Amino acid sequence: MRSQKNIFALTCVMIFVMVAFMPEIASSQTVRVFVPAGSFHSVLPEVPGEPIQVDSFYLDKTAVTNEEFVSFLEENPEWRRSEIPSIFTNAGYLKQWKSDLDPGYENLGKDRPVTRVSWYAANAFCAARGGRLPTLNEWEYSAQLIDFENEKEANAFSAKLINWYSGIDANNLGAVGSSEIENEYGVEDQFGLIMEWVDDFKPLIAEDLSLDCGTVGRMNTLGSVYSYAASIRYITRMSFNAKITTGMVGFRCAYNTPAPTPESQQGESL
Protein backbone atom coordinates (compact mmCIF):
# COMPACT_ATOMS: atom_id res chain seq x y z
CA MET A 1 0.00 0.00 0.00
CA ARG A 2 2.71 2.39 1.05
CA SER A 3 4.82 1.63 -1.97
CA GLN A 4 1.80 2.23 -4.17
CA LYS A 5 1.38 5.65 -2.62
CA ASN A 6 5.02 6.33 -3.32
CA ILE A 7 4.60 5.31 -6.89
CA PHE A 8 1.57 7.55 -7.16
CA ALA A 9 3.48 10.44 -5.64
CA LEU A 10 6.44 9.77 -7.86
CA THR A 11 4.19 9.65 -10.91
CA CYS A 12 2.65 12.97 -9.91
CA VAL A 13 6.09 14.49 -9.56
CA MET A 14 7.17 13.02 -12.87
CA ILE A 15 4.13 14.37 -14.65
CA PHE A 16 4.66 17.75 -13.04
CA VAL A 17 8.30 17.78 -14.10
CA MET A 18 7.46 16.63 -17.60
CA VAL A 19 4.76 19.23 -17.99
CA ALA A 20 6.98 21.94 -16.55
CA PHE A 21 9.74 21.16 -19.01
CA MET A 22 7.48 20.46 -21.93
CA PRO A 23 7.91 23.28 -24.39
CA GLU A 24 5.09 24.56 -26.53
CA ILE A 25 4.52 21.90 -29.15
CA ALA A 26 4.77 23.47 -32.55
CA SER A 27 1.46 23.33 -34.33
CA SER A 28 2.72 22.13 -37.68
CA GLN A 29 3.92 18.58 -37.73
CA THR A 30 6.16 17.51 -40.55
CA VAL A 31 6.82 14.06 -41.87
CA ARG A 32 9.05 11.83 -39.77
CA VAL A 33 10.90 9.06 -41.51
CA PHE A 34 11.70 5.84 -39.65
CA VAL A 35 15.38 4.98 -39.95
CA PRO A 36 15.96 1.37 -38.88
CA ALA A 37 18.90 0.34 -36.70
CA GLY A 38 22.14 -0.48 -38.45
CA SER A 39 25.81 0.28 -38.57
CA PHE A 40 28.21 2.36 -40.63
CA HIS A 41 31.81 3.45 -40.83
CA SER A 42 32.58 7.05 -40.04
CA VAL A 43 35.73 8.93 -41.01
CA LEU A 44 36.68 9.37 -37.36
CA PRO A 45 39.02 6.86 -35.75
CA GLU A 46 37.23 3.66 -34.77
CA VAL A 47 38.15 0.23 -33.46
CA PRO A 48 39.15 -1.83 -36.52
CA GLY A 49 36.39 -4.17 -37.61
CA GLU A 50 33.83 -2.53 -35.37
CA PRO A 51 31.52 -0.27 -37.31
CA ILE A 52 29.47 2.27 -35.39
CA GLN A 53 26.11 0.87 -34.27
CA VAL A 54 23.10 3.13 -34.53
CA ASP A 55 19.72 2.40 -32.94
CA SER A 56 16.57 3.04 -34.90
CA PHE A 57 15.20 6.57 -34.75
CA TYR A 58 12.95 8.97 -36.60
CA LEU A 59 14.27 11.85 -38.65
CA ASP A 60 12.51 14.78 -40.28
CA LYS A 61 12.08 14.07 -43.96
CA THR A 62 13.33 17.56 -44.80
CA ALA A 63 15.12 20.43 -43.08
CA VAL A 64 13.19 22.94 -40.97
CA THR A 65 11.82 25.74 -43.16
CA ASN A 66 11.61 29.49 -42.61
CA GLU A 67 7.86 29.16 -42.17
CA GLU A 68 8.21 26.47 -39.51
CA PHE A 69 10.76 28.55 -37.69
CA VAL A 70 8.37 31.52 -37.68
CA SER A 71 5.71 29.33 -36.00
CA PHE A 72 8.24 28.34 -33.38
CA LEU A 73 9.14 31.98 -32.73
CA GLU A 74 5.48 32.94 -32.46
CA GLU A 75 5.10 30.52 -29.59
CA ASN A 76 8.57 30.99 -28.10
CA PRO A 77 9.30 34.71 -28.13
CA GLU A 78 12.53 34.33 -26.18
CA TRP A 79 14.16 32.91 -29.33
CA ARG A 80 13.26 35.90 -31.49
CA ARG A 81 16.11 37.94 -32.90
CA SER A 82 15.42 40.87 -30.59
CA GLU A 83 15.06 38.68 -27.51
CA ILE A 84 17.61 35.92 -27.80
CA PRO A 85 20.35 36.31 -25.17
CA SER A 86 23.83 36.85 -26.60
CA ILE A 87 25.11 33.74 -24.84
CA PHE A 88 23.05 31.68 -27.27
CA THR A 89 24.15 33.20 -30.54
CA ASN A 90 26.52 35.56 -32.27
CA ALA A 91 25.42 38.75 -33.98
CA GLY A 92 24.40 37.08 -37.22
CA TYR A 93 21.29 35.31 -35.87
CA LEU A 94 18.53 35.47 -38.54
CA LYS A 95 20.18 38.67 -39.72
CA GLN A 96 18.72 38.42 -43.22
CA TRP A 97 15.16 38.53 -41.83
CA LYS A 98 13.10 41.70 -42.17
CA SER A 99 11.94 41.62 -38.59
CA ASP A 100 11.45 39.30 -35.64
CA LEU A 101 8.65 37.29 -37.24
CA ASP A 102 8.99 38.24 -40.88
CA PRO A 103 11.71 36.52 -42.88
CA GLY A 104 10.68 38.44 -46.00
CA TYR A 105 9.36 35.47 -47.92
CA GLU A 106 9.77 37.23 -51.27
CA ASN A 107 13.52 36.88 -50.78
CA LEU A 108 13.85 33.86 -48.58
CA GLY A 109 10.87 31.70 -49.50
CA LYS A 110 8.52 29.90 -47.12
CA ASP A 111 9.74 26.48 -48.08
CA ARG A 112 13.42 27.17 -48.01
CA PRO A 113 15.44 25.87 -45.10
CA VAL A 114 15.95 28.27 -42.23
CA THR A 115 19.62 29.19 -41.86
CA ARG A 116 21.63 31.59 -39.68
CA VAL A 117 20.42 29.84 -36.55
CA SER A 118 22.77 28.87 -33.75
CA TRP A 119 23.05 25.35 -32.39
CA TYR A 120 21.22 26.55 -29.26
CA ALA A 121 18.26 27.78 -31.26
CA ALA A 122 18.15 24.60 -33.33
CA ASN A 123 18.20 22.60 -30.13
CA ALA A 124 15.36 24.61 -28.63
CA PHE A 125 13.30 24.25 -31.78
CA CYS A 126 13.60 20.47 -31.78
CA ALA A 127 12.79 20.29 -28.07
CA ALA A 128 9.68 22.35 -28.75
CA ARG A 129 8.71 19.86 -31.40
CA GLY A 130 9.07 16.98 -28.96
CA GLY A 131 12.34 15.87 -30.50
CA ARG A 132 16.00 16.66 -30.45
CA LEU A 133 18.84 17.29 -32.86
CA PRO A 134 20.08 14.08 -34.46
CA THR A 135 23.37 12.82 -33.13
CA LEU A 136 26.40 13.05 -35.39
CA ASN A 137 26.28 9.29 -35.93
CA GLU A 138 22.55 9.24 -36.62
CA TRP A 139 22.87 11.97 -39.22
CA GLU A 140 25.89 10.44 -40.93
CA TYR A 141 24.42 6.94 -40.85
CA SER A 142 21.23 8.16 -42.50
CA ALA A 143 23.28 10.10 -45.06
CA GLN A 144 25.16 6.96 -46.06
CA LEU A 145 21.96 5.01 -46.71
CA ILE A 146 21.96 5.97 -50.34
CA ASP A 147 21.68 3.27 -52.97
CA PHE A 148 24.19 3.44 -55.76
CA GLU A 149 24.32 1.18 -58.78
CA ASN A 150 28.04 0.68 -58.43
CA GLU A 151 31.21 2.16 -57.02
CA LYS A 152 31.76 4.33 -60.06
CA GLU A 153 28.42 6.01 -59.57
CA ALA A 154 29.13 6.46 -55.85
CA ASN A 155 32.47 8.08 -56.61
CA ALA A 156 31.00 10.40 -59.20
CA PHE A 157 28.34 11.45 -56.68
CA SER A 158 31.00 12.08 -54.03
CA ALA A 159 33.18 14.13 -56.37
CA LYS A 160 30.17 16.31 -57.13
CA LEU A 161 29.53 16.57 -53.43
CA ILE A 162 33.03 17.91 -52.79
CA ASN A 163 32.56 20.53 -55.49
CA TRP A 164 29.23 21.41 -53.91
CA TYR A 165 30.88 21.94 -50.51
CA SER A 166 33.11 24.55 -52.14
CA GLY A 167 30.22 26.43 -53.70
CA ILE A 168 27.03 26.39 -51.65
CA ASP A 169 25.17 29.48 -52.81
CA ALA A 170 23.86 30.70 -49.47
CA ASN A 171 22.02 33.57 -51.16
CA ASN A 172 19.97 31.32 -53.41
CA LEU A 173 19.04 28.21 -51.48
CA GLY A 174 16.47 25.89 -53.02
CA ALA A 175 13.24 24.82 -51.30
CA VAL A 176 13.39 21.78 -49.04
CA GLY A 177 12.95 18.61 -51.05
CA SER A 178 14.47 20.22 -54.15
CA SER A 179 17.89 18.54 -54.16
CA GLU A 180 16.44 15.27 -55.51
CA ILE A 181 18.84 13.46 -53.24
CA GLU A 182 17.22 11.05 -50.78
CA ASN A 183 18.25 8.03 -48.82
CA GLU A 184 16.61 4.66 -49.26
CA TYR A 185 14.05 5.38 -46.51
CA GLY A 186 13.02 8.74 -47.90
CA VAL A 187 15.10 11.24 -45.90
CA GLU A 188 15.72 14.09 -48.34
CA ASP A 189 18.37 16.74 -48.97
CA GLN A 190 21.06 15.64 -46.56
CA PHE A 191 23.31 16.80 -49.36
CA GLY A 192 22.79 19.40 -52.03
CA LEU A 193 20.92 22.04 -50.06
CA ILE A 194 22.58 23.12 -46.81
CA MET A 195 24.82 21.76 -44.08
CA GLU A 196 23.03 20.81 -40.87
CA TRP A 197 23.57 21.07 -37.14
CA VAL A 198 23.87 17.84 -35.23
CA ASP A 199 23.73 17.41 -31.47
CA ASP A 200 27.41 16.55 -30.95
CA PHE A 201 28.90 18.45 -33.89
CA LYS A 202 32.20 18.73 -32.06
CA PRO A 203 32.73 15.21 -30.70
CA LEU A 204 35.25 14.74 -27.90
CA ILE A 205 37.71 13.24 -30.30
CA ALA A 206 37.79 16.51 -32.26
CA GLU A 207 40.34 17.87 -29.80
CA ASP A 208 42.72 15.00 -30.52
CA LEU A 209 42.50 15.39 -34.27
CA SER A 210 45.01 17.88 -35.44
CA LEU A 211 43.21 19.90 -38.08
CA ASP A 212 45.89 20.36 -40.69
CA CYS A 213 46.84 19.46 -44.25
CA GLY A 214 47.07 15.81 -43.35
CA THR A 215 43.69 15.49 -41.71
CA VAL A 216 41.81 14.77 -44.90
CA GLY A 217 44.28 12.01 -45.71
CA ARG A 218 44.08 10.51 -42.24
CA MET A 219 40.30 10.56 -42.48
CA ASN A 220 40.41 8.65 -45.74
CA THR A 221 39.45 5.54 -43.79
CA LEU A 222 36.79 4.35 -46.18
CA GLY A 223 39.21 4.37 -49.05
CA SER A 224 36.68 6.14 -51.23
CA VAL A 225 35.86 9.52 -52.64
CA TYR A 226 32.93 9.49 -50.22
CA SER A 227 35.24 9.60 -47.24
CA TYR A 228 36.99 12.62 -48.74
CA ALA A 229 33.66 14.43 -49.02
CA ALA A 230 32.69 13.27 -45.53
CA SER A 231 35.95 14.53 -44.05
CA ILE A 232 35.27 18.02 -45.41
CA ARG A 233 31.84 17.92 -43.77
CA TYR A 234 33.17 16.60 -40.45
CA ILE A 235 35.99 19.16 -40.36
CA THR A 236 33.73 22.06 -41.27
CA ARG A 237 31.24 21.11 -38.55
CA MET A 238 33.97 20.57 -35.98
CA SER A 239 35.30 24.05 -36.67
CA PHE A 240 32.04 25.66 -35.55
CA ASN A 241 31.02 26.62 -32.05
CA ALA A 242 27.46 26.50 -30.75
CA LYS A 243 26.89 30.26 -31.16
CA ILE A 244 27.84 30.42 -34.82
CA THR A 245 25.17 31.28 -37.37
CA THR A 246 25.80 31.04 -41.08
CA GLY A 247 23.84 31.28 -44.28
CA MET A 248 24.51 27.65 -45.17
CA VAL A 249 23.81 25.87 -41.89
CA GLY A 250 20.28 24.84 -40.94
CA PHE A 251 18.96 21.72 -39.25
CA ARG A 252 16.34 19.02 -38.98
CA CYS A 253 15.12 17.17 -35.88
CA ALA A 254 15.28 13.56 -34.76
CA TYR A 255 12.84 11.69 -32.52
CA ASN A 256 12.69 8.52 -30.53
CA THR A 257 9.01 7.99 -31.34
CA PRO A 258 6.81 8.31 -34.42
CA ALA A 259 4.85 11.48 -35.05
CA PRO A 260 1.83 11.67 -32.76
CA THR A 261 -1.53 10.99 -34.43
CA PRO A 262 -4.11 13.79 -34.22
CA GLU A 263 -5.94 11.82 -31.48
CA SER A 264 -2.90 11.33 -29.31
CA GLN A 265 -2.02 14.99 -29.75
CA GLN A 266 -5.45 15.90 -28.49
CA GLY A 267 -4.93 13.49 -25.59
CA GLU A 268 -1.74 15.28 -24.68
CA SER A 269 -3.34 18.66 -24.61
CA LEU A 270 -6.15 17.49 -22.33
Partner 1 sequence: MKSAISKITLIAGMILIGMSSVVSAQTKEFKLDGKTFGMPEAQIYTEDYDGPTVVGEHLTQLPNLAPLNYEGNKHHEVRIDIVVQEIEVAEGVRYQAWTFGGTVPGPVLHVREGDRITFIMKNRSDEEVTITEPSKGGSPFMNQVANNPYQKNKPGIMPMPHSMDFHAGTVAKDDKWRTVGPGETIKFDFIANYPGSYIYHCGTPSVLMHTSMGQHGVVVVSPKEGYKTGYEVDREYVIVQSEYYLTKGAGDLYTYDFEAASNNNPSHVVFNGHQTILHDQPLKANAGERVRFHVSNNGPSGTSSFHVIGGIFDRVWLEGHPFNEMRGMQTVLLGASSSATIDMIVPEEGKYILIDHEFVDAEKGATGTLKAGPRKK
In the complex, the residues that contact partner 1 under the rule CB under 8 A are 20-24, 76, 78, 85, 87-88, 90-92, 116, 119-120, 123-124, 127-128, 159, 162-163, 165-171, 202, 204, 206-207, 210-213, 215-216, 228, 231-232, 235-236, 239-242, 244-249
> For residues 251 and 234, what is the distance between their CA atoms, to the nearest angstrom?
15
Q: How far is CA 116 from CA 47, 91, 162, 243, 254, in A?
A: 36, 10, 22, 10, 20
Residue type at 85 in one-letter notation:
P
For residue 170, the minimal CB distance to partner 1 (Å) is: 5
Which residues are within 8 A (CB) of 131 and not within 5 positions of it... i.e. 6 or more apart? 58, 60, 253, 254, 255
Q: How far is the CB of 60 from partner 1 (least distance, A)?
A: 19
For residue 244, the minimal CB distance to partner 1 (Å) is 5
Name which of 54 and 248 has its Cβ closer to partner 1.
Answer: 248
Given the DSSP bridges, would you call strands 195-196 and 249-250 parallel, antiparallel or unpaired? parallel
Please identify, using beta-carbon distances, which residue of 57 and 197 lies nearer to partner 1.
Answer: 197
DSSP 265: H
**Residue 116 or 252 having the CB closest to partner 1:** 116
Question: What span, in angstroms and rounded, lies between the C-alpha atoms of 210 and 70?
Answer: 39
Residue 41 CB, nearest distance to partner 1 (Å)?
A: 19
DSSP states of 156-169 as a string? HHHHHHHHHHT---
CB 146 within 8 A of CB 183: yes
Closer residue to partner 1 (CB): 145 or 168: 168
Helix, strand or coil, per DSSP, at residue 18 = helix
Identity of the residue, 61 or 233, whose beta carbon is nearer to partner 1 in the bound complex: 233
Give the residue ranges of DSSP H helices in the chain: 2-21, 66-75, 105-108, 119-128, 136-144, 151-165, 215-218, 225-238, 262-269
What is the DSSP pairing of strand 52-54 with strand 38-40? antiparallel
Give min distance, CB of 248 to partner 1, in A: 5
User: Whose Cβ is closer to partner 1: residue 1's or residue 87's?
Assistant: 87
Q: Closest approach of Cβ 191 to partner 1, in Å?
A: 14
Least separation in angstroms between CB 223 and partner 1:
14
Of 4 and 269, nearer to partner 1 (C-beta) is 269
